[in-house]
Amino acid sequence: MLKLIQTEEEIMLQEAARGLLDRSAPVSRLRELRDANQTRDDALWQEMVDAGWAGILVPESAGGADMGHTAAHVLAREMGRTLAVSPFLSTAVMAATVLRRLDDPRCQAALAQIASGARTYAIAVDEGSKFNPERIELMAEKRGNGYVLKGEKRFVVDGGNADHVLVLAQSKDGPCLFDLPADRAGLRRNVSAMIDSRDAARLEFDDVAVSGDELLGAAGDGRALLRYGLEAGQAALAAESTGLAQAAFAITTEYLKERKQFGVTIASFQALQHRAAHLWCEIEMTTSAVLQAGRILDADPDAATLAVSVAKARAIDTAQLAAREGVQMHGGIGMTDAYDMGFYMKRARVAAEWLGDYGYHAAQVAQLRGF
């Protein structure tokens, strides 16, 4: 039976993470980055690397900590609390999960670079307006011992700042997954800042030459291989969204205890108490769903799809509810930039779309349940 409470080691990791992030990445830091039109925080990422977070899923043989997905979720949840800006999900979670599945010296070298902070990744999978890894129109044409890539990828989160990109493309042998330097000739990155002040890119591949050595696994296995990274990322993003909801709830309840109307604090109003209690219950259930997903990813990643989609769907709904309730219970000032609640709402909106929205994951759950 899976243990759905945190271990002592996970609690210690949480406390250490909270201390680092409260000190180096409070929400005020995100405000500074936004005002400076910056979508990366190199100093924070270096602190994370020094703390061993970049290697949280990297095997010890490659210089990592190899603490597992549940531990990675502890970190992601704390990052969600302060809305930290980092390549953690794309690099330390998704890319590391894919690379560690391959018994290849090149992958071991890449994992060592992830753990040391020498390399960051973005994941290029989306091509339409919605997440759909089954749709692959980016073509990989065989050329000698290598391939030539033609087409584009959209909504590549961290794509503007990453050193490398994992690219899913279609070949005559089936889906292929490539590990490419982001500065490869013919690869053009159109970068924009998202509403939550992180970067995303549209990648255009204009006859991009790749060698056979840059193919991960075998031709035709790309989608199946990337699936492990995507599900790891979906679960970690659910954890981040849960941390976001917890922080938004804490900020809101503190405001309810301070704000007065008619000579009393508005926390004494029964209608607001009911709304706060409902939100607390939703957060607790989502926290359990995320913990379940982490435990299954650690124990049996081949059987994790259902738990991951339940966690992601719940986290999407809960994070957006927490942000909406936060804005509304703050009243008119909740809509102003002077208060942080708007930052939580924007991050929740982006997290709701990245790696599959509520509809996508609800459909996954229904299918796996036989409906």
**pLDDT tens for each residue of 194-209:** 999 999 999 999 999 9
Residue 91 has pLDDT above 80, yes or no: yes
Q: Which amino acid is located at 309 in the chain?
A: S
Helix (H, G, I), strand (E, B) or coil at 357: coil
Fold held by 122-219: Butyryl-CoA Dehydrogenase, subunit A; domain 2 (2.40.110)
Residue 1 has pLDDT above 90, yes or no: no
pLDDT digits (tens, 9 = 90+) for 137-193: 999 999 999 999 999 999 999 999 999 999 999 999 999 999 999 999 999 999 999
In the DSSP assignment, the letter for residue 89 is I
User: If pLDDT is split at 50, 70 and 90, which confidence band does 260 have?
Assistant: confident
pLDDT over 70 percentage in the chain: 99
Q: Is the domain defined by 8-119 classed in CATH 1.10.540.10?
A: yes
Average of per-residue pLDDT across 364-369: 96
Structure tokens, 336 = 């102003």
Residue carrying the six token digits 């208060």 = 339
User: If pLDDT is split at 50, 70 and 90, which confidence band does 2 have?
Assistant: low
Residue carrying the six token digits 């980055």 = 33
Query: Whose CA is closest to 248, among 210, 286, 301, 203?
Result: 286
- What is the predicted pLDDT for the residue at 338? 87
How far apart are alpha carbons 124 and 137 in whole angstroms?
12
Better-scored residue on pLDDT, 227 or 332: 227
Q: Which residues pair with 68 in a beta bridge?
A: none
CB atoms within 10 A of CB 191: 14
Supply the mean pLDDT for the chain: 96
Cβ atoms of residues 92 and 114 within 8 Å: yes
Residue 358 has pLDDT above 80, yes or no: yes
Average of per-residue pLDDT across 346-357: 97
- What is the predicted pLDDT for the residue at 277? 97
Average of per-residue pLDDT across 212-216: 96
Query: Whose CA is closest to 353, among 69, 135, 134, 126?
Result: 126
Q: Which residues of 34-46 are buried (b: 16+ CB within 10 A; e: fewer)?
A: beeeebbbeebbe
pTM score: 0.96
CB atoms within 10 A of CB 277: 10
- What is the predicted pLDDT for the residue at 332? 77
Q: Where do the structural domains in the chain lie, given as residue ranges? A: 8-119, 122-219, 224-368
Average of per-residue pLDDT across 47-51: 98
H-helix or E-strand spanning residue 170: strand 164-171
Fold held by 224-368: Butyryl-CoA Dehydrogenase, subunit A; domain 3 (1.20.140)
H-assigned helices in the chain: 8-24, 27-35, 42-50, 69-82, 96-99, 105-116, 222-258, 270-299, 305-329, 341-353, 358-368
- What is the predicted pLDDT for the residue at 175? 98
How far apart are alpha carbons 266 and 82 in whole angstroms?
26
Average of per-residue pLDDT across 305-315: 98
Average of per-residue pLDDT across 50-65: 97
Cβ atoms of residues 297 and 291 within 8 Å: no
pLDDT digits (tens, 9 = 90+) for 286-306: 999 999 999 999 999 999 999
